[in-house]
Amino acid sequence: MQTEQPGYQQTFHVELGNRGPGFGFWLGLILVILGGGLLLDAFNLLPFGEILGTWWPTLLMIVAIAQVATRSSGFFGPGILFTIGALLQLSKLGYLEGGFWSAFWPVLLILIGLSFISSRFKKKEPRKDPNFVGTVNVEGSRIDRTAIFTGIDSRVVSQDFTGGELTAIFGGIEIDLREAAIQGTRATLDVTAVFGGVEILVPNSWNVIVSGTPIFGGIDDKSIRHPAHMNAPTLLIDATAIFGGVEIH
């Protein structure tokens, strides 16, 4: 173990280093531009406040594009964020006579329909443990769950967990990973909560790294940090919370 640990750490850092500027860099650049524009407006050098008042929804679209371009997230969360920004921008420019909500609900229905269609092609795990009432045991290496106007409760018992994708839209998802194991160096979980919530329970022995974008929502990481587990398997959670919440503990 002593000979493998330094190798693991070196591989992890090198792989991240080759990805180039990440999402945090571009988000920081956007904030610098916003701050500079507002400062120029304060000195009456540029009517940045008026510009921002009209075009601020475009910032949501830019953030969504940056997430996809830097591969810091899956496609579903940024897609929702981009759609909301586009509809808000069209409403600001007067192209939506009924306002944002008149177009939001039809788009939401389309997304829900597409989600149901795509779930038809996903393999569903049967209930394995009859004594574990209300919860589905997941033995596969991945977990993909979509909750729309409903709730999903799953317990992952896979001993070769690699990650998955969780999406809650006007619904809730609770995933228990405390009996799962990661055989490789890490697993990746993409989480999206839109007007919904996702709760993830993780083992104390795992390292948990959480990144994401809360838009009128929250991402709360309550996982325990143990210095002794620096070389333990790592769970990478990329979360997008839009009028919703994601909690890890």
In this structure, the answer to whether residues 152 and 208 fall within a common structural domain is yes
Per the structure, the count of domains in the chain is 2
Residues 6+ apart with CB under 8 A from 125: 136, 137, 138, 139, 140
In this structure, the answer to whether residues 213 and 178 fall within a common structural domain is yes
In this structure, the answer to whether residues 241 and 173 fall within a common structural domain is yes
Given a cut of 50, whether residue 213 has pLDDT beyond it is yes
Mean local confidence (pLDDT), 60-89: 77
Mean local confidence (pLDDT), 71-86: 74
In this structure, the answer to whether residues 44 and 143 fall within a common structural domain is no
Place of tokens 């974008």: 213
**Residue 173 burial (C-beta neighbours within 10 Å; 0-12, 13-18, 19+):** buried
Give the pLDDT band of residue 202 (cuts 50, 70, 90): very high
Place of tokens 């409403």: 91
In this structure, the answer to whether residues 87 and 52 fall within a common structural domain is yes
Give the pLDDT band of residue 2 (cuts 50, 70, 90): very low
Give the pLDDT band of residue 175 (cuts 50, 70, 90): very high
Final residue of a domain: which of 50, 85, 117?
A: 117
- CA-nearest of 223, 230, 225 to 200 is 223
What's the predicted TM-score (pTM) here? 0.55
Residue 183 DSSP label: -
**Per-residue pLDDT at 5:** 39
Quote the mean pLDDT of the chain.
77
Final residue of a domain: which of 87, 117, 147?
A: 117
In this structure, the answer to whether residues 239 and 152 fall within a common structural domain is yes
**Dist. CA 186–CA 247, nearest whole Å:** 20
Using CA atoms, how far residue 140 sits from 94, 107, 143, in Å, is 49, 33, 7
In this structure, the answer to whether residues 66 and 108 fall within a common structural domain is yes
**Residue 5 in domain:** no
**Residue 28 burial (C-beta neighbours within 10 Å; 0-12, 13-18, 19+):** exposed
- At position 60, the amino acid (one-letter code) is L
Where do runs of H (alpha helix) occur along the chain? Answer: 5-17, 23-42, 48-69, 76-92, 100-119
**Per-residue pLDDT at 177:** 92
